[in-house]
Amino acid sequence: MLAASVNPIKSSPPSSLTSASSEKRMAIMPSPSPSAMVCLDESRPSHRFRFPMNKLQCSKTLGTTQLSGVKFRVSRGSKFRVFCESKTQELQIRRCSPLLERSSLSSNGALVSNEWKAVPDIWRSSAEKYGDRVALVDPYHDPPSTLTYKQLEQEILDFAEGLRVIGVKPEEKYVLFADNSCRWLVADQGIMATGAINIVRGSRSAVEELLHIYNHSESVGLLVDNPEFFNRLAGKFCSNATMKFIVLLWGEKSRLASNETLGVPVFSYKEIVNLGRENRAALTDSLDARKGYKYEAISSDDIATLVYTSGTTGNPKGVMLSHKNLLHQIENLGVLGPAKAGDRFLSMLPTWHMYERSCEYFLFTRGIEQVYTTVRTLKDDLRNYKPDYMISVPLVYETLYSGIQKQISTSPSAIKLMVLSFIRISLAYTELKRIYKGLCLTRNPKEPSYVVAMLDYLWARVIAAVLWPLHALATKFVYEKIRSAIGIQKTAKSGGGSLPTHIEKFYEAIGLEVENGYGLTETAPCIAGRRPSYNVLGSVGHPIPLTEFKIIDPETDEILPPGSKGVIKVRGPPVMKGYYKNPVATRQAIDEDGWLNTGDLGWIAPHHSVGRSRRCGGVVVFEGRAKDTIVLSSGENVEPLEIEEAAMRSALIQQIVVIGQDQRRLGAIVVPNKDEALLAAKNASIVDSDAVDLSKDKITSMLYDELRNWTSECSFQIGPILVVDEPFTIESGLLTPTMKIRRDRVLAQYKEEIAELYK
C-alpha cells in the first residue's frame, strides 16, 4: 500500500539526475525498518511515501518498475536509490459566461446564480423562454440563414469553444471587422463568451484606420467578413501587424489572394463551429478531459469590447466598455418602448454601431425576430417584411421623407393639392393635440397661471375637435397608404444625431411615431430617450434609469438651472471605464466624481405643474457639439447645427457644412441635389423643359434663394457659399461610418477654396 505525508525529509539528490522545472525528484534510502521511504526534494512541495521493503528487490541489472503511472529507476548495488519522475500538468484557465456555461462552472464547484453577469448570459435566458421562435433572418448572405433562439445559443457556444481550441485566451484582444449578418452576432458573442475582448468595425472604413485600430488595441487575431475584404487589408496588415490566426465569416479560403497570409493559419466560420462542437462533445463525455481546466466566471467589471469612436476629429479613441455597461442597457432600454415576443425588427445600421448593438442585445431578451437588411434593399425590405421596429440615424428618415415629398410633388395637380391640404390640417391638429396634452417644449422656467393654462387647454381642445374629422379622413385615405409604403408598423427609433423638427412633425402628422434618443459610444450608448407616452418633439427624452444629468457653464463649471444652455455632463452605470491606453484623455473626459463631459451642448426642460409644457419637465434637449461652435470675428458664437437643419429642409440641398470661424460672416459649403435643382429650374422656367443640366452660376443663384428662404428664422444668415459637385462619402473620408460629416476634414479639403471665397 502507498501512504503519504506532507512532512519534508532532507535528502541530497544524486548528481547524475538532471533537474528540470517540470520534474519532481525523489530518493529512497535503505532503512533498517521493514519499509523504505520515498521523498521529494526539499526545495519543492513534497510528499513522503512508504513501501514494504520486500517489494523492492535489487537486481544485478538496472530495472524499471511502473506503479500508477510513476516510473522508478532502480540502480545496482547493495546501496540503492530510486528516483521518481512525474510530469506536472499546468491547468488551463477557461473564462466562462456564468449563466451561459453554468454547467462548466458548476462542475468546478462554483455557485452560479440566475442573474446576468456577462452579456452572453442573455442567450441562455432567451433560449429557455423563446426556444423555437425565430431569432434571426439573414436573407442576403450565401447561404441565407434562419436561426431559432435555441439554435443561436448553440451556435454561440460552439463558436466560442472553437475559438478556445485555436488558442483564444481570456483578456486577449481580437478584431472583428465585418458588416451586419447573423455570423457577426455569433462571432461577437463567441469572443465575449471566452472572456476575450473584441474590437469591432465595419468593412467600409479606410484600411489605414483599421490598421491603426488593430495595432493600437494590441489585437492578436483577425476575424473578417469575407476573402475579398481580407485581400483589401492584406497588403498593409501582413507586413505591419502580428496575427495568430485569421477567421473568415463568409466565403471560401480558396478565394484568398495567394501568398497574402504569409503562413498565418486561416479558418472558415464552419471550421471554427465544427471544432467547437467536437470539443464540447469530448468535454461532456470525458471527466478526465475536464480535469485539465480551471474554470473561472467572467466578472461584470471585465472589459467586454473596445469600440473606437467615429473620429470626427483626429484619430479614433478606444472606448473600454465593460459587461456591466452593456448589461445596464439591456436591463433598462425597455422603458423606451414595449417589445414583445414575435415582434419583427429590421436591422440596417452598422451592427457595431453602439446604438444598434445595445438595442439588438435588449430586443433579443424580449424574443423578437431580427431581419438583416442593407441600404440598397431597405425600401423593399420595409415593404416586404413590414417590421414593427427600426433603429436608424436621422439621414435614413430624411431620405424616406424626401422620397414621400418627391412622390407627392410629381402627382397630378388635384391629388397634390388634396394631399398637401390634408397634411397642413394634420400638422395643425397634432400641434393642438400637443398643447392640450402638455407636450410643448419650452425653456421658460416661469409657468402660466392656472386660469391662462385652462383657457389655453380648452381652446386647443375645441379647435382640435373641429379638425379631427378631416384628420381622420386623411388618415383613412392618404396616411395609411404612406405608412404602408414606408412599412414600419409600430415605432421608428432615431439616434446618432438630431432629427430635423419639420421631419418629426411630418411623421407625427401621418401617424408614424418616430422617437429620438441620445447617447455616446462612451455611454454604451443610450442615456436618454423618448417614451411612447412622453414623445416631446425637439427633445431627446428623459434620462434612462440610474443615469444622472447636469448642465454646466463651460467657462465657470457651475451647474446651470433648468432652461439654461450649457455643456451636458452625465454619470451612471453606462459610463465607460475609460479610453484604452489614453489616461490623459480619460481624465479630461471623466472627473473625480464620475461625471462624463459629453462635449455636447443642451439644456434640461423646466418643470411646470400646469399649462402646455406640464409633461415636459426633465426632458433633455440636444443642441449640437460644443467644439462645433463657430466664433465670428465679432466675438459672436454661432451653433451651426440649427442653420444646417433649417437649410436641409430644401429639396435642392443634399449636404451642407456651415463655415465662418474667425470671419465677419457665415458661409457654407453646399452639395446640391442636381436632379431636384434641374426639376425646380424647369418649373420656374429658368431653363428650357428639355434641358439636361444646369450651369454652376444658375445652381448657385438658386441655392442662395433656398438658403434665404429656409434659414430666415435663424439667428444668423449665410453669406457666401461654395458649391461642390462631389458628395461627402465614407469612401472619401468626409463621412464617418455612422454617416456624420467630418467637419475638420471637409474644411481641410476645401481650405484654399474657402480662403478664396472670403476674399
Let me know: does 24 contact 43? Beta carbons within 8 Å.
no
Using DSSP's 3-state secondary structure scheme, residue 752 falls into helix
How far, in Å, CA of 739 to CA of 509, rounded?
Answer: 27
67 and 116 housed in the same domain? no
**From CA 716, how far away is CA 719, in angstroms rounded?**
10
In a domain? residue 312: no
Quick check: 671 pLDDT over 90?
Answer: yes
Residue 337 lies in a domain: no
Residue 349 lies in a domain: no
> Does residue 109 fall inside a structural domain?
yes
- The amino acid that residue 485 corresponds to is A
pLDDT at residue 545, as a whole number? 97
Answer with the residue of higher pLDDT: 723 or 69.
723
Identity at 560, one-letter amino acid code: L
Q: Do 76 and 109 sit in the same domain of this protein?
A: no
Q: What is the CATH number of the domain that holds 174?
A: 3.40.50.980
- pLDDT tens digit string along 584-602? 999 999 999 999 999 999 9
On whether both 234 and 278 belong to a single domain, the answer is yes
Q: Which CATH number goes with the domain that contains 504?
A: 2.30.38.10
Residue 107 pLDDT level (bands cut at 50, 70, 90): low
Lowest average pLDDT, out of 64-78, 432-446, 624-638, 743-757, goes to: 64-78
Shared domain check, 254 and 164: yes
| 179, amino acid identity | D
Q: Which of 262-266, 418-422, 630-634, 713-717 has the highest mean pLDDT?
A: 418-422
In a 13 Å sphere around the CA of 507, the CA atoms on its Cβ side amount to: 28
Contact 597, 571 (CB under 8 A): no
Q: Is residue 343 part of a domain?
A: no
615 and 493, same structural domain?
yes
Total Cβ atoms within 10 A of residue 678: 20
- Cβ 139 vs Cβ 376: under 8 Å: no
3-state SS assignment for residue 594: coil
Looking at the fold, whether 512 and 493 belong to one and the same domain comes out as yes
Summarised one tens digit per residue, pLDDT across range 337-346 is: 889 999 999 9
Strand partners, 50: 3, 37
Q: Is residue 351 part of a domain?
A: no
> What b/e string do you get for 41-79 counting C-beta neighbours within 10 Å, with b at 16 or more?
beeeebbbbbbeeeebeeeeeeeeeeeeeeebebeeeee
Q: Are 59 and 109 members of one domain?
A: no
Residue pair 242/215 in contact by the 8 Å Cβ criterion: no
In a domain? residue 319: no
Task: Please tell me the predicted confidence (pLDDT) of residue 554.
Answer: 87
- Inside any domain, residue 495: yes
- What total number of domains does the chain contain? 4
Co-location of 511 and 647 in the same domain: no
pLDDT tier at 110 (50, 70, 90 boundaries)? low
Q: Please report, for the domain that includes residue 694, its CATH number.
A: 3.30.300.30
The yes-or-no verdict on residue 7 having pLDDT over 60 is: no
Confidence at 580, pLDDT banded by 50, 70, 90: very high
149-172: average pLDDT: 97
Q: Which three cell numbers stand for residue 759?
A: 476674399
- Residue that is written with C-alpha cell 457556444 in the block: 157
Contacts of 254 (CB under 8 A, 6+ apart): none
Q: Determine the Cα–Cα distance for residues 394 and 200; give it in Å rounded to an integer.
A: 23
- Is 50 exceeded by the pLDDT of residue 290? yes
Cα end-to-end span (Å), the chain: 101
Same structural domain for residues 157 and 189? yes
Is residue 44 over pLDDT 60?
no
Pair (672, 612) in one structural domain: no
Decide if 552 contacts 558 (C-beta within 8 A).
yes
- Angle made by CA atoms 5, 9, 12, in degrees to the nearest 5: 140
Q: 265 with 243: CB under 8 angstroms?
A: no
Domain that holds residue 640: 630-757
If asked whether residues 173 and 293 sit together in one domain, one would say yes
Mean pLDDT of the region 690-703: 90
- What pLDDT does residue 109 have? 61
Asked if 328 contacts 573 with a C-beta cutoff of 8 angstroms, the reply is yes
- Provide the pLDDT for residue 338: 84
CA dihedral 420, 422, 425, 426 (to 10 degrees): -110
What DSSP line would sit under 629-696, residue for residue?
-EE-TTS-EE-HHHHHHHHTTSTTEEEEEEE-TTSSSEEEEEEE-HHHHHHHHHHTTSS-TT-----H
Give the pLDDT confidence score for residue 311 in this predicted structure. Answer: 56
Give the tens place of pLDDT for each residue, 198-244.
999 999 888 998 999 999 999 999 999 999 999 999 989 988 999 99
Q: Answer yes or no: do 72 and 102 share one domain.
A: no
Three-class secondary structure of residue 736 per DSSP: coil
Residue where a domain stops, chosen among 283, 299, 315: 299
**Mean pLDDT for the stretch of residues 690-700:** 89
Percentage of the chain beyond pLDDT 70 is: 86
Last residue of a domain, one of 34, 60, 85: 85
| Cell of residue 698, nine digits | 444658375
Mean pLDDT (the chain) is 86
Last residue of a domain, one of 255, 282, 299: 299
